[in-house]
């Protein structure tokens, strides 16, 4: 929808190369290796922390991409619910990093200070990385469920 509505996909290659948003990512170093899944708890902590971090980015999208407000609000609610659910699976839930209010506000202010065209690219980058993060999350949860390492 972003590509069609704002016609930015073809023009945004340079902006994609200069992505400095520091969006959450899940990597093999986080325990996402799938054989054996010895870092299960580390991976779940990273996933839950990343989902909590994405909340600020989703709030920004909701405020900026107003034509999709309801969809983004639903996505944000579901993401928060998933973050809480995965956090409960971690051996020490207090080890999950949840951004504090000051960190969230600082990031939100930084995001809102971008120019209109950059906002469109920023939304595109956030959604792209969120999609990638969720794909890895789904794979990790399916793997854990299939190996019966936990019950979801």
Domain parsing of the chain, residue ranges: 37-149
pLDDT of amino acid 17: 46
Residue 133: HSE in the Cβ half-sphere, 13 Å Cα cutoff: 25
Residue of 130, 125, 123 whose CA lies nearest to 17: 125
> Which pLDDT score, from 0 to 100, does residue 114 have?
77
- pLDDT at residue 80, as a whole number: 95
pLDDT computed for residue 130 by the predictor = 94
Q: Which two tokens stand for residue 13?
A: 């290659």
Tokens representing residue 99 in the block? 């951004």
Q: Look at residue 59 in the predicted model and tell me its pLDDT.
A: 93
Burial label, 82 (beta-carbon count in 10 A; 0-12, 13-18, 19+): middle
Residues of the chain with pLDDT below 50 are: 13-14, 17, 35-38, 149, 151-152
State the pLDDT at residue 32. Answer: 56
Residue 46's H or E segment, with its range, is helix 40-64
Place of tokens 């016609």: 7
Structure tokens at 23: 């969006």
**Residue 9, pLDDT score:** 57
The CATH classification number of 37-149 equals 1.20.1250.10
Q: Where are the beta strands (DSSP E) in the chain?
A: none
Distances in Å between the Cα of 18 and the Cα atoms of 7, 38, 48, 119 are: 19, 34, 26, 14
46 in Cβ contact with 31 (< 8 Å): yes
Q: Rounded distance, CA 74 to CA 68, Å? A: 10
């Amino acid at each position: 929808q972003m590509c069609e509505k704002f016609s930015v996909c073809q023009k945004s290659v340079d902006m994609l190369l200069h992505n400095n948003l520091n969006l959450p990512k899940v990597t093999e170093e986080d325990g996402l290796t799938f054989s054996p899944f010895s870092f299960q708890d580390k991976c779940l902590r990273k996933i839950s922390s990343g989902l909590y971090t994405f909340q600020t980015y989703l709030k920004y999208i909701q405020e900026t991409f107003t034509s999709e407000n309801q969809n983004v609000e639903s996505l944000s609610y579901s993401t928060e619910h998933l973050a809480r659910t995965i956090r409960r699976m971690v051996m020490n839930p207090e080890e999950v990093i949840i951004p504090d209010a000051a960190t969230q506000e600082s990031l939100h202010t930084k995001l809102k200070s971008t120019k209109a065209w950059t906002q469109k690219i920023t939304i595109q980058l956030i959604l792209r990385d969120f999609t990638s993060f969720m794909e890895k999350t789904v794979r990790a949860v399916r793997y854990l469920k299939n190996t019966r390492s936990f019950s979801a």
